Structure 1
C-alpha cells in the first residue's frame, strides 16, 4: 500500500511538472543600498526538474540563478492551477534571517532563544504575487554554484506558503473562505535529529491591515498547549497538518473562514505560518461587493405629444457597494434608425445616500428632448455598470408612446370590460336592496292591520247594542259600536 502511495505521489509530481506554467520565473533580487534606498538586480528561479542541463544565463550572477529543489512539491502545486495564458507572477527575492517569533503566544515554539546551528548560512525569501497566486517561500541555497555548462546555484524550498485566492471578492453578507496551504521540509537529517518524529507544532495567525496597523483576528497553535488570544469577529481557521510522515516533508492547511462579511471588514489580510525561527507570510486583498438594484420611472409607458418633451426619467440605483466604479448610461432603443444609440438630453446624478448596512444609493436623471412621431414605440433604457456586475451591466427600460399614434390596446379592452362588469354588478346589488326594503315595508303594514282588527272585535263584544238601563241609545245605537264598525269597514276597504 505504501509503495502504491509512493507511485501515485510520483505520478502526481510528474503531472504537476508537466502542467506547470513555466520552467523559469524571472525575479528581482532586492537589497539595501544604504541611505534608505533599495537596489534591484535581475534573478531567476528554475522550477522544473529535468534531466537536461539548465539553459545558460550569462546575464545573471550564479548566486542569483537558482535551481530549486522542492521535495514537498509545494511550488508545483501552487502553479498547477495557474492559467497558461496569464502573465507570469511578479517575483521578488531578498535575504532572510531566521529569528524567533516575537509574539508571546508563540513562545512555546522556541523555548531556547538562540537559533540552532542547522539554520546557519544564507537564507533567501521569494515572494510571488498575481491575481491568481500569492506565494512566499524560504530557500536554503548551497554555498557553491554548480560548474559548467551553466553556472547555477542549487537551493531547497524549506517553507512554502501560498493561496489561490489572493484577491477574493465577497458579496456583502456572505461568508468569506480564504484558502491557505503550506509545506515544510526539515533540514536536519533523520539520523542526526533528536526531535520527536512527525510534523512539528506550528503557529498560524490571520491579521487585517488597516491604516498601517495590523489587527489580529485569529491565532492558533496546533500541537502546543499555550494560551492564544481569542478569535475576533466570529473567525475560524481549519489549521492542521495534512499528513503525519515521521521525517517529512509535510503539507498543511490554514484556510480562514469569516462569516457574514460587511464593508468594514474589507482590506489587506496577512496570513503567517510560524515554525521555530522560520516564518512564511502572504497577503490577500479582500473586497466586499453588493450589486445594485435598478429601477426606472415613470413606468411602464412614457407619454408625450409630437414636438413636446417627455417627462423626466428617474433611474434609481439602490443598495450597492462599493461606491467607486459605478457608471450610468442612457440608451434609446428602436428609434428612427431602429438600433441602440446614446440617448440625448440633459442628464445628472444625485448625491450618494448611505444606508445602515454600509451600502449606498443614488438616482440618475434624464430630461429627454422633444419627441417626433418616428420615435413612437422606442424604449429608453438606463444601463448601470459596476464591479459587482457582469460586463454587460444591469438595465431597466420604459416604452415611449407618442400621443395620437396608437389605438386602443388589448390592455385598454380588458380594462373597459372589467369596468362594465363592475358597473353591472353594482346596479344588480342596488336592485336587490330596493326589493328587500319594499318587502319589509309591506310586511309591517299587514301586521299593523291584523292587530287593529283583533282589538276592534274585542270592543264590539264588550259593548251591547242596548243601553245599560234596558232602554235604547240616543239615535238607536251604541256610539262606540257605531265608531268601531265604521273603522272596520274602512280597514277592509283598504286591505282590498
Structure 2
C-alpha cells in the first residue's frame, strides 16, 4: 500500500487540528488533553518546536481525519500516552501468550482520539525505540492500530434493529522484513459493552481464529468480526455490531474495543431510542356549538411515543373573530403518562374552549404536538367548528319540523275521513231497497 503521511505537533497552547497541504497538524496542551475542553477547529496556535511526523501505512487514520474536517466544522481532539498491556478481560488472555510485552512494541506510544458528527476514531501511534540525536525537531512515528465508526451517535427508532458500524486497521510495528513473518493478520478480540446509568454490561465478545471460552452474547447481539485476506498487511477489519428490535433500556454509551496482543483501540458510540407519536383529535370531524355557549370538550390523544420527556402540546385556532392563526384561549390540561409494554408512552391533552359566537363558524381548532422525534414543525390534528343555525338546522329548527310534520299528518287523516263520508257510491248502495 502507498505510504500516507500525518504531521502531529505537541504544542504548549490550545489543542487544534487543521489540514496543511497534504499533511495534518494536531496540537496538544502541555498539561495533557484532560486539562482543557476540546478546542473548536480550526484555530491553530503552535508555539513549540517539538513536531512529530507520523506515517499511516494503512491509511485509515488519514482518511478519517479528511472526512471529519470535510463534513464537520467542529471535530473534537484528545491525545494521551499509552502503555502496551495485556487485555484485562479473561476471555482475551490467549491474545497475549508471551510472559512480557515483546520488544517489537518498545518505544513511546500515544493515543489520539478525534470525533465529530459523522465519524469517531481512535489511533495508537508508536515512536521509534531507538534514540535520535539532539536537538530533535521532527520525530517519526507510525499509526499502528486505528479503530473508527461512521455512526458515533446512532438514533434508532423504537422496535427497529440497530446496526453500529465499526472498522479497524492494523499495520505491524515490527522492523523485521515481512518475509520473516507468518502470512496473514494476527489474532484479535472484539468486545462490545454498554454503559448506562452507572452500570456496565458486556453484550458480546469474540476472538476469531482462537479457541477460547468467550461469554455468550446477550440480547440477541451479533457482530461481523473479520479481517481482510491481505497476506502481508497492513490489514483492515470489520466489527460491525447488530442489535435486534431495540428497546428503551438499551440506550446508552456503547464501547467498541479491538484487542490485539498488548494493544487495545476503542471508540464510544452514544445510542438513543426514539418513536414519534400518533396524534388524533376528538370529537371529529365537526364540533357543533350554539352561539354564546362553549363547544364540546376537545380530546387530543398523543399515543405511543418515546422518550417521555420533552413533549409539548399547543392549542391553536385558525379563523374566528380574529382571522389567521392564533393561540386558542380556554382551559387546558394533560393527563398522566400511560406506559405500554414496548416501552413507549401515551397521554391525552384536554381543552375546553371559550364560548363561541357566529364569527367562529367555520373556524378550526387544532392541537399541535412537538417532540424531539418529530420535525421542528411538529404534528397536528384539527376539527372544524359549526355554529348551529348557520350551516344547517338547529335544535329549534328540528322541533319545528317535527311539529309541522305532525300537524300535516293529522290534516291528511281528517281530509281522508271527509272524502270517505262523501262517497256517492256508498250512498246509492245504502238507499236501494232489498229485493224479494
TM-score over 0.5 for the pair: yes
Match of residue 293, structure 2, among 308, 317, 320 = 308
- Tell me the CA shift for residue 130 of structure 1: 2.4
Q: What residue in structure 1 maps to residue 35 of structure 2? A: 39
- Which stretch of structure 1 is more off in the superposition, 189-198 or 390-399? 189-198
Q: Give the structure 1 partner of residue 234 of structure 2.
A: 249
Distance 1:267 1:88 in 2: 23
- What is the aligned partner in structure 2 of residue 112 from structure 1? 98
2:389 matched to which residue of 1?
404
- Match in the other structure for 2:432: none
- For 2:167 and 2:279, the matched residues in 1 are separated by 40
Among 33, 48, 52, the residue aligned to 1:61? 48
Return the offset for 1:402: 1.4
Q: Which residue of 2 aligns with 1:279?
A: 264
Give per-residue Cα distances to partners, 1:421-459, cap 9 Å, x unaligned.
xxxxxxxxxxxxxxxxxxxxxxxxxxxxxxxxxxxxxxx
| Aligned-partner Cα distance in 2 for 1:28–1:190 | 32
Whose helix fraction is larger, Structure 1's or Structure 2's?
1
Structure 1-normalised TM-score? 0.69
Q: Indicate the RMSD between aligned Cα atoms, in angstroms.
A: 3.2
Kindly indicate whether residue 186 of structure 2 is the aligned counterpart of residue 200 of structure 1: yes
> Which residue does 1:386 correspond to in 2?
371
Q: Distance in 1 between matches of 2:84 and 2:179?
A: 19
Larger of the two Rg values belongs to structure: 1
- What does 1:16-95 correspond to in 2, within 5 Å? 22-23=19-20, 24=24, 28-29=28-29, 39-40=35-36, 59-63=46-50, 65-79=51-65, 81-82=67-68, 84=70, 86-95=72-81
CA, structure 1 residues 95+83, in 2 after alignment: closer, same or farther (shift >3 Å)?
closer
Question: CA, structure 1 residues 103+195, in 2 after alignment: closer, same or farther (shift >3 Å)?
Answer: farther
Report if aligned partners of 1:43, 1:60 keep a CA contact under 8 Å in 2: no
Given candidates 98, 115, 118, the residue that maps to 2:84 is 98
Q: How far apart are 1:189 and its partner, in Å? A: 2.9
1:307/1:283 Cα in 2 relative to 1: closer, same or farther (>3 Å)? same
Structure 1 unaligned spans of 5+: 1-5, 15-19, 47-56, 409-496
- CA–CA distance in structure 1, aligned partners of residues 110 and 39 of structure 2: 12
C-alpha distance in 1 between matches for 2:145 and 2:157: 33
Change (3 A) 1:41 1:384: closer
- Pick aligned residue for 1:290 from 275, 282, 287: 275
Distance 1:44 1:402 in 2: 59
In 2, distance between residues paired with 1:343 and 1:274? 60
Structure 1 residues 22, 296: closer, same or farther in 2, change over 3 A? farther
Q: Is the 8 A contact 1:78 1:164 kept in 2?
A: no
Q: How does 1:247-396 map to 2 (within 5 A)?
A: 248-396=233-381
* Counterpart secondary structure, 1:108: helix
- Give the 3-state SS of the residue equivalent to 1:78 in structure 2: helix
Structure 2: distance between partners of 1:42 and 1:305: 64
How far apart, CA to CA, are the structure 1 residues paired with 2:164 and 2:134? 40
The answer on whether the counterparts of 1:327 and 1:384 sit within 8 Å (CA) in structure 2 is yes
- Evaluate the alpha carbon distance shift between residue 82 and residue 39 of structure 1 in structure 2; reply closer, same or farther with a 3 A threshold: closer
> Compared with structure 1, are the counterparts of its residues 309 and 106 closer, same or farther at alpha carbon in structure 2 (3 Å cutoff)?
same
1:169 corresponds to 2:165: no
**1:164, CA displacement in angstroms?**
0.9
Secondary structure of 2:389's partner?
A: coil
Number of corresponding residues: 378
Residue 222 of structure 1 corresponds to: 208
> Cα gap change, 1:30/1:93 in structure 2, threshold over 3 Å: closer, same or farther?
farther
* Corresponding position of 1:443: none
Aligned-pair distance for 1:342? 1.8
Q: What secondary structure does 1:319 align onto? A: strand
CA distance in 1, matches of 2:133, 2:244: 50
Q: TM-score, normalised by structure 2?
A: 0.78
Could you tell me how far 1:266 is from its partner in structure 2?
1.2
* 8 Å CA contact retained: 1:62, 1:153: no
Q: Any conservation in 2 of the 1:236–1:256 contact (CA below 8 Å)?
A: yes
> Are the aligned partners of 1:28 and 1:40 in contact in 2 as well (CA < 8 Å)?
no
Alpha-carbon distance between aligned partners in 1 of 2:328 and 2:26, rounded to the nearest angstrom: 49
Counterpart CA distance in 2 for 1:266 and 1:145 is 52
1:44 shift after superposition: 12
